[in-house]
Structure 1
Amino acid sequence: MPHEIIALIDKPWLLLAVLAVGAGLGMLTERLAEKANKTRRKAWWPTRNRSKFRARNSGNGALGAEIAALKGAPSARRFPDASDQLRIVLGAQFRARPLLNKPEQRLLAHLDRTLAREAPDWRAMAQVSLGEILASEDREAFLAINSKRVDFLLVDAASRPLHAIEFQGTGHHQGSAAARDAVKREALRRAGIGYVEIASGDTPAEIGATIRKLREKAS
């Protein structure tokens, strides 16, 4: 047996001290190792979570699309340009269809005859886009009316819009028609353009009286 061990056995207090120091060093080493492991785990988890989040939302899901939009990423949807539109048109078939239905054709004929008699310098135009006769600095307001149309528009000799005529045929007040008419009526009013409604049951005499009143008011 080595001399150093025999000396420690002969002095029990010294042996206890050595054992205590060894145990303390062992505990300190273990704590330092555990702390290092915790530090590595803390650094690894955020990276792991970010990777999982990107993988989960990198597809076509709604959340992934919203995040891409918020980051300013270009949208996957692209509106066709002129060449795309030509390609689409070349691959399709088209057919002509009447601008007006039968009741509207009859009304236009009545308007033409009445204008020739009551207001020869006025003309009636059919299916006129509001975006062609109204302008606004408010882009949102303009987009709200740009694609809307009036059934007929009375213009003067210089093609200035005077009065819009809405034909209230059978089934006109279906769905959101009333709300659309309200939008058109208010936009026209703000531009100083008149708004007149003619019902499908109005007689030629009643239509003539309506035009005559408009002409007298303009005079």
Structure 2
Amino acid sequence: MITLILIAAVLIIVLVETLRRHRRGRWRGTRRFGGRFAPSSRAGSSKPPVERPTVETPPVAKPSMAEPENQVAAIAKVRFEKTRLLNRTEYRVLLLLERIVDGANSGHRVMAQTNMGELIRPVSSSGTARDRQDAFASINSKRLDFAIVDTFGMLAVAVEVQGSGHYHHKTFMRDAVKREALRRAGVELLEIQPSWTDEEIEARVSTLLGLPVQDSGRRRAGMR
């Protein structure tokens, strides 16, 4: 009986010592961090160290150039210079167009490099609001070389001076947009070719405007 009691006492002592060593090992394998116990980052630890999250600095927002204040600030940083509105060929055509409408005394006027959005716009009853918005945006940034307007200020004839640059792909597509928009607005487009003479241009413009076409002899006599 005494032997059994001794054996039981020894087993209890061994069990208590084992539990004590186990707890001591867990304590050594941990470290105190931020008020809580976290795995130790020392060598021999079985768990990886805790990494703090990286705080990214948000990018600085670019000023909106739709605001007049930002536009003024941008302009103040550079200098400006005058630039030519028309090239030599276009200027020659301008003088010719002005001579045609002045000679006809019909009240027409010639405008150069006019924004299409100032001359035509989508009909309010056509398409959806988004359709009209997209259609207007498609023409608003495009200009006509010349716009001949009537006495009411309405576009009568659009004039484009074709050169070598008009046959590039992007330019060709821009011209196609102009043609289609003008066609749908019921406006005639005259595309002047480099090979046309002044007489040919005058005859075509006069025809489109419904003006009498003078023969070359009478025209030269009137210019003297």
Structure-2-length-normalised TM-score: 0.63
Structure 1 unmatched runs, 5+: 1-6, 59-63, 66-73
| SS at structure 2 position matched to 1:11 | helix
AA at the equivalent of 2:200: E
CA contact (8 A) 2:150 2:156 kept: yes
Given residue 190 of structure 1, which amino acid in structure 2 is its aligned partner?
Answer: R
Closer, same or farther in 2 for the Cα pair 1:10/1:93, shift >3 Å? closer
CA distance in structure 2 between the partners assigned to 1:125 and 1:151 by the alignment: 8
Higher relative contact order (Cα pairs below 8 Å, separated by 6+ residues)? 1
Structure 1 pair 82–10 and aligned structure 2 pair: CA distance change class (3 A): closer
Q: Name 2:180's counterpart in structure 1.
A: 186
From 108, 128, 134, the equivalent of 2:94 is 108
In structure 1, the partner of 2:217 is none
| Change in CA separation of 1:129 and 1:80 when aligned onto 2, cut-off 3 Å | closer
Superimposed CA distance per residue, residues 105-134 of structure 1 (whole angstroms, 9 cap, x where no aligned partner): 221222233334567232221111123223
**SS class of match (2:203):** helix
**Aligned pair in 2 of structure 1 residues 35, 189: CA closer, same or farther (>3 Å)?**
farther
Cα distance in 2, alignment partners of residues 19 and 13 from structure 1: 10
2:106 is matched with: 120
Q: Which has the higher helix share?
A: 1
Q: Secondary structure at the match of 2:8?
A: helix
Gaps of 5+ in 2: 40-46, 123-128, 212-224
Correspondence 1:43-82 to 2 at 5 A: 45=50, 48=52, 51-52=53-54, 54-55=55-56, 58=57, 65=59, 75-79=61-65
Query: Greater CA deviation, 114-123 or 164-173?
Result: 114-123
Q: In the alignment, which of 18, 28, 40 is matched to residue 23 of structure 1?
A: 18
Matched, 1:156 2:142: no
Q: What is the root-mean-square deviation in Å for CA atoms of aligned residues?
A: 4.2
TM-score normalized with structure 1 length: 0.64
